[in-house]
Amino acid sequence: LEQPEILREQLAGVLMASRYGNPRLMFPLISRIEEVRRIREILEEARSEVENSGHEVSREIGFGIMIEVPAAVQMAEFLIREVDFFSIGTNELIQYTLAADRNNMKVQHYYDPYQPAVLHSIKHVADICTRAGKSVSVCGEMAADPVNTVLLLGLGITEFSLSAPYIPVVKQSVRRISRKAAENLAARILDMESSAEIRDEIGRFRSKHPFLVT
């Protein structure tokens, strides 16, 4: 947003190509609703430029944002009204929620996907999307572990973005777990107060379902 001319040019390129398919635009590190509205303004400016130049533009372009910072989690109920979908970036959400830079040796041990604050944040965002009838996905290292994928399913996440090598293992594993089992796991974990308790529960669940391996 500090360089709107560059963003407008990039969006114009996507819009020109949209005649060949329906792209989905997703914008990272959103923390304020004003940012979303400004991006939409620039998108409409780009649309007008492209259409005025004689190019056909799809009307089925998805517009979404990434939920990666605590401010976006807290504002999710308002942000969802402005967009078509959310994607939760777990790597950044964990880092910014816990003030734990993964690349800083002094604090990287605080980086923990099983901290209750992180899991409650994911649940909060998933519930808001469900009520709004809009999709929410998760991307990041967290979903690469099949047990975590089951937990995320129980929290209300139904779409995942994974590195290609992890997809077959995760798909094969989660197909063998019922939605009810995933929801029960999530319910137990949401009642826990510490990551140590949650890790113990994850370990017990993994022991009962040994096919959930990375």
What's the Rg (C-alpha) of the chain?
19
CB-CB contact of 173 with 149 (8 Å): yes
Lowest mean pLDDT among 4-13, 22-31, 153-162, 164-173: 164-173
Non-local (6+) Cβ contacts of 137 within 8 A are 85, 86, 87, 88, 157, 158, 159, 160, 161
Of residues 26 and 213, the one with the higher pLDDT is 26
pTM: 0.93
Residues 3 and 10: their CA atoms lie apart, in Å, by 11
110-155 confidence digits (pLDDT tens): 999 999 999 999 999 999 999 999 999 999 889 999 999 999 999 9
CA distances (Å), 164 to each of 147, 150, 169, 209, in order? Answer: 18, 18, 10, 23
| Residues whose CB is less than 8 angstroms from the CB of residue 74 and which lie 6 or more positions away in sequence, other chains included | none
| pLDDT for position 194 | 98
* Average pLDDT, integer, range 62-88: 98
What is the percent of the chain with per-residue pLDDT over 70, rounded to a whole number? 100
Separation of alpha carbons 95 and 112, rounded Å:
8
Helix (H, G, I), strand (E, B) or coil at 166: helix
The pLDDT of residue 71 is 98
The domain locations on the chain are 61-208
> Is residue 135 classed as helix, strand or coil in its secondary structure?
strand
Please answer whether residues 16 and 49 qualify as being in contact, where contact means their C-beta atoms are separated by less than 8 angstroms: no
Mean pLDDT of the chain: 94
Cα distances from 134 to residues 103, 127, 190, in angstroms, run: 34, 10, 23
**Res. 211: pLDDT tops 90:** no
Q: What is the pLDDT of residues 41-70, one digit of tens each?
A: 999 999 999 999 999 999 899 999 999 999
pLDDT given for residue 186 in this prediction: 98
Both structure tokens of 129: 């999307």
Fold of the 61-208 domain: TIM Barrel (3.20.20)
In angstroms, the CA 51 to CA 175 distance is 45
CA angle at 142 for the pair 141 and 144, rounded to the nearest 5° = 70
| pLDDT tier, 103 (very low <50, low <70, confident <90, very high otherwise) | confident
Q: Are the C-beta atoms of 84 and 39 separated by less than 8 Å? A: no
What CA–CA distance (Å, rounded) separates 135 from 203?
30
Give the pLDDT confidence score for residue 199 in this predicted structure: 97
What's the pLDDT band for 214 if we cut at 50, 70, 90? low
Tens of pLDDT, residue by residue over 183-206, are: 999 999 999 999 999 999 999 999
Spatial distance between the Cα atoms of 107 and 154, rounded to a whole number of angstroms: 30
